[in-house]
Chain A
Amino acid sequence: MMSTLEQFRLETRAWLEDNCPPSMRTPIKPGEEVWGGRNAAFHNPESKLWLERMAAKGWTAPTWPSEYGGGGLNKAEAGVLSEELKRINARTPLVSFGLWMIGPVLLEFGTEAQRQEHLPSIINGEIWWCQGYSEPGAGSDLAGLQTRAEDKGDHFIVNGQKVWTSHADQADWIYVLVRTNTEVKHAGITMLIVDMETPGISTSPIKLISGSSPFCETFFDNVRVPKDAVVGEINGGWAVSNRLLQFERENISADAFAAEKPIDLGELTKTYLGARGTEIADPVARDQLARLRMREQSLQLTIKRIMDEAEAGSSTGAVSSIIKFLGAELNKDRYEYFLDIMGQQALGWEGEGFSESELMTCREWLRSKANSIEGGTTEINLNVVAKRVLGLK
């Protein structure tokens, strides 16, 4: 007799066959990622259809409870869904800090009212969330943040500045860390959730070395925020934010299993540097590529081992803390490899004489430099491993 899980797989496969539009089974094109939001833009109409269909099933958030519009799947079923999506190379229907970070935090720390208000609109992509963490004076030392929330009885007045806020100029809501006690450091931080249309909030994009502006400065000028905007406890924001960073890390792990097929770097290298038989002609590039591929695969095997260990209930902390920095350094090295094999063709800024993918490679190479800075620098990650895992103090 067929197990219920096998039954679920067959049903899922059939549903995806009927409901995943053809262009959603092709590799994602630049600019076609779907972030949703009040002013959602869909460059490909099938992206909209795909999001609506997936959201209706709750499958943008497969494991969230169905009472909030989630998929209500158990871990095994979610695994099957992920495998079936991967099987047809399906695109991610929705790219969202709501799904990855603030949603899971609200499920764990939020009030019932907060969950009912926010989770459904995260699941169907109606609200685009951004993250207000870093400040000009608080980067790696995040707990040094100074954005002040003054307690005015039934509300707070927030003043200060955030920086590196992803897409703040397009986002609808922000989860933001503020200081509610100036006497103590970590124990004086609170997490608030705030509508970006609230008077007093303004944003300004930051132009990066890659020419694009995915990040903003976000200013809070006497912003009135109601008391029910607190996530968790007042002055208890540090624990909430650490939990959220764990979700971010887990998401990075899950991302490594994303459905997209990797570029065939071997063929690309032969195109630019020539081939001798089936081999890359340049022995140095060939050796470099073998090393890169080994690092990629060993990282994936390590992520898989963490997941297996988590399932078996053995400890995961030691290994998961190294994933972020290994992945960041690997991705930077990958882009340096692109530059090595493509030579000057990868260094064009715009215009004729360069293919679309060459120009994109240059911009992505510049973008990749942020990998080891954002979400915890490589140095901070090494500190965490040394102090918390290895006990060096």
Chain B
Amino acid sequence: MSNILSEEQVMLRDMAKSFFAEKAPVSLHRELRHNTDSQGFSAALWQEMLAMGWAGIDVGEAYDGLGFGFRGLGIVMEEAGRTLAASPLLSTVVLGAGAIQLGGSDAQKQALLPEVVAGNLLLAMAIDEGAHHDPGQTCLAAMPEGDSFVLNGSKDFVIDGNIADKLVVAARTSGDAGSTAGLTLFLVDADAEGLTVHARKMVDSHNTATLQFSHVMVSGSDVLGQIDAGAEVLEATLDRGRIALAAEMLGAMQQAFENILDYLKERKQFGTTIGSFQALQHRAAMMFSDIEQCKSVVYEALGAAEDSRDDLPQLASMAKAMVNHAYHNISSEGIQMFGGMGMTDECDMGFYLKRARVAEQSLGSASYHQSRFATLNGF
């Protein structure tokens, strides 16, 4: 199948590009980062994104969505990445609603998906319990008690965990840490008794939170999918999240690279533009090549997610690992090529560097995904 965008997809991309350039330029991110009262994103911007239908872009029409497909979601993520626009797209739409779409019962889908599409419900997915993404290491325990479960433990670095109304929580109902076998997914209200939420301030100013579960009671009807067998839905949801995040990072690195290129053509030293120096030209050409390869992989992965292909896990790991390396390098090179300017708060490049490192760790570092890719390929 070709990865050339259809006419509709091109229209969506053009629309999203001008939308973020106009409504959410990097200056908005600059404004929001010091605003401790804010939700970490602009509510007005999110309202406009909802009005465009983007919260339901990959949700079926039966649940009030557009049914446009996962490629469409990727296109919006990529364009949002260019301007570092913060929104609940990843946490609520890709991960939260994604888990419900893949694993939810009819009743859960009926109750929750239209609420997401309408903008009445923010979701977050609580997976990691330490500084490194690794769902197999889940320890948070869910013990059955009558028709319910009692949750004890903690979650960390939960994307948008501080603003979500409802959480999708991965908990251990059997098995041992080190494997995703024996995990179950639960829907937990953010205001459930025994659940405390602490926002953490990150270098990229994006939302993340620590969650403490102390005897949190969850009804059996709030199990998402199968008990003890949540791994399949969990991994499929995370793979969609990894690919969508890779798309966001792809957009961000393209913009960072364009900023670099503009500077190389404008900054003069020794009486000439620094872009005339071969030492910088070759590095720029290599960055360009990395971006082109990342595009090919991310677009292929978006297609694999849209069509629920068998090679989705391999492509998700490949996309995240490749994009991690490329964005890492481009953001570092960006600071170096901007020189002293790159070290100043006034220059946007610092924002791209900060976002790069957080995004690299979110949903799996390069080494995590290289190891997973090796396992998936039988070595």
Q: Which of B1-57 contact A (CB under 8 A)?
A: 2-4
- Residue A294, interface by CB 8 Å: yes
How many chain A residues have a CB neighbour from B under 8 Å? 45
Chain A: minimal CB distance from B75 (Å) = 16
Docked Cα-Cα span, A286 to B375, in Å, equals 9
Q: From DSSP, what is the main secondary structure of chain A's interface residues?
A: helix
Residues on the B chain within 8 Å of A278, using CB: 375, 378-379
Contact B297 A290 (CB under 8 A): no
Q: B82 at interface (Cβ–Cβ under 8 A)?
A: no
CB < 8 Å neighbour of A289 from B264, B286, B374: B374
Question: Which B residues between 355 and 378 are near A, CB-CB below 8 angstroms?
Answer: 367, 370-371, 373-375, 377-378
A280 touches B285 (CB 8 A): no
Q: Contacts of B275 on A, CB cut-off 8 Å?
A: 392-393
In the assembled complex, A302 has its CB within 8 A of some CB on chain B: yes
Chain A 297-317 near chain B by CB (<8 Å), digits 1 or 0: 111011011001101101000
Bound together, the chains give a CA A278 to CA B375 distance in angstroms of: 8
| A270 and B379 contact, Cβ closer than 8 Å, known pairs A287-B371, A393-B276 | yes
A291-B370 in contact (CB<8A): yes
The residue in chain B whose Cβ has the minimal distance to the Cβ of A269 is B379
Q: Which chain A residues lie closer than 8 Å to B288 at the CB level?
A: 322, 385, 389-390
**Are A302 and B292 touching (Cβ within 8 A)?**
yes
Whether A290 lies near B373 (C-beta < 8 A) is yes
Asked whether A22 is an interface residue with its Cβ less than 8 Å from the other chain, the reply is: no
Across the interface, do B374 and A287 meet the contact criterion of CB distance under 8 Å? yes
Interface flags, A98-118, vs B, CB<8A=1, else 0: 000000000000000000000
Task: Tell me whether A387 and B281 are in contact (CB under 8 A).
Answer: yes
Q: Does the CB pair B281–A392 fall under 8 Å? A: yes
> In the complex, A390→B265 CA distance in Å?
10
B378 engages A379 (CB within 8 Å) = no
Report if A391-B281 is in contact (Cβ < 8 Å); known contacts: A290-B371, A322-B292.
no
Contact with B along A301-339 (1 / 0, CB 8 A): 110110011011010001100100110000000000000
Question: In the complex, which residues 347-393 of chain A have their Cβ closer than 8 Å to any Cβ of chain B?
Answer: 379, 381-383, 385-387, 389-393
Chain A residues contacting B282 (CB-CB under 8 Å) are 379, 382-383, 386
- Residue total for B at the interface (Cβ-Cβ under 8 A): 37
**CA–CA, A286 to B373, complex, Å?**
10
Contact of A305 with B289 at beta-carbon distance under 8 Å, contacts A289-B374, A293-B373, A382-B281 already known: no
Contact check, B299 vs A305: say whether CB atoms are below 8 A apart: yes
Residue of B nearest to A393 (CB): B276
Given the complex of chains A and B, what is the CA–CA distance between A46 and B367 in angstroms? 47
Residues of B within 8 A of A314 (CB): 4
The residues of A that contact B289 with a CB separation of less than 8 Å are 322, 325-326, 385
Beta-carbon contact of B285 and A279 below 8 Å = no
How many angstroms between the C-alpha atoms of A266 and B3 in the bound complex? 29
Does B293 reach chain A (CB closer than 8 Å)?
yes
A264 to B334, CA, bound (A): 38
Bound: A385/B367 CA distance, A: 30
Bound CA–CA A322/B107 (angstroms) = 51
A156 to chain B, nearest CB (A): 38
Q: Does B246 contact A (CB under 8 A)?
A: no
Most buried by A among B3, B264, B282, B322: B282
Which one, B293, B295, B374, contacts A279 given CB within 8 A? B374
Q: How far is the CA of A202 from the CA of B320 in the complex (A)?
A: 55
CA distance A256 to B282 in the complex (A): 25
A393 partner residues in chain B, CB cutoff 8 A: 275-276
**Which A residues are in CB contact (< 8 Å) with B373?**
290, 293-294
What residues of chain A have their CB less than 8 Å away from a CB belonging to chain B? 265-267, 269-270, 278-280, 286-287, 289-291, 293-295, 297-299, 301-302, 304-305, 308-309, 311-312, 314, 318-319, 322, 325-326, 379, 381-383, 385-387, 389-393
A-B contact pairs, 19 of them (CB 8 A): A266-B377, A266-B379, A278-B378, A280-B379, A286-B371, A286-B374, A286-B379, A289-B379, A290-B377, A294-B321, A298-B318, A301-B296, A302-B293, A308-B3, A311-B2, A314-B4, A390-B284, A392-B261, A392-B265
Known contacts A389-B288, A390-B281; 5 additional CB pairs below 8 A are A267-B379, A286-B379, A298-B297, A308-B4, A383-B278
